[in-house]
Structure 1
């Protein structure tokens, strides 16, 4: 089942929300949609794209948290040691900041378009921030 479409230029990904594993994170994320943002290549974490959110407070804490999201998994860090942020893994990731290792809530998994993830990551790395639209399919 797919709940979400992520569009970055000519790349389209379909994803499912992990409601059972991260219900509060999913509920909050849905309240943001449709969400226009930019994916920027990560600084510390490896092969991923992120959305820095600064000191934006969020109404949830840690649930289903991981430091090692698999390619196609999106995590939401609710802040604390580092700024609030969203990260999408396109390859090997060890989620961290300049202060050290972090863990974020795995709340979304890409189920269609995984083969396009390296293209998105390389574009963010070599061409800069990539415009992204995240929409609900329901």
Structure 2
């Protein structure tokens, strides 16, 4: 099992890659590490945060795709009807864009630090974009 450390705003999380269910997405994401971005609150999807990636093409299709991630699950939407993005659910989410409902590849799940998900989501909602860093745990 491959574990990642995630630093989002002032919060630390540990997450496991869903390598059996989304092997290509996990392999591609691992190739990006360490990965640093800014995370903002979603517009359409509910209680979630996202990293908009515009027209970035990771060369991925759909695997292990869902529109309803559980809190602590990360999705990678590889693009198509809407822009490429990463989405983190911190509460109830129905993944969507202005184009309508979407489905993204569930590839990463927070396994430690879930108690801080709501605090992270609230911070992003009320205070704006937060730095986020993904690193492999050794």
26-35 or 6-15, which moves further after superposition?
6-15
TM-score by length of 2: 0.97
Q: Name the SS for the 2:19 alignment partner.
A: coil
Deviation, 1:137, is: 0.8
Give the RMSD, CA atoms, in angstroms.
0.9
Q: Distance between the aligned counterparts of 1:128 and 1:103, measured in 2?
A: 25
Render the CA deviation track for 1:81-114: whole Å, top value 9, x for unaligned: 0000000000000000001000000000000000
Aligned to 1:70: 70
Q: Distance between the aligned counterparts of 2:2 and 2:73, measured in 1?
A: 14
Aligned to 1:53: 53
Deviation, 1:59, is: 1.7
Deviation, 1:9, is: 3.2
Compared CA separation, residues 10 and 2, structure 1 to 2 (3 A):
farther
Aligned to 2:129: 129
Structure 1 stretches of at least 4 aligned residues deviating more than 2 Å after TM superposition: none
1:36 aligns with 2:28: no
Q: How many residues align?
A: 138
Q: Distance between the aligned counterparts of 1:130 and 1:111, measured in 2?
A: 21
Render the CA deviation track for 1:36-58: whole Å, top value 9, x for unaligned: 11110000000000000000111
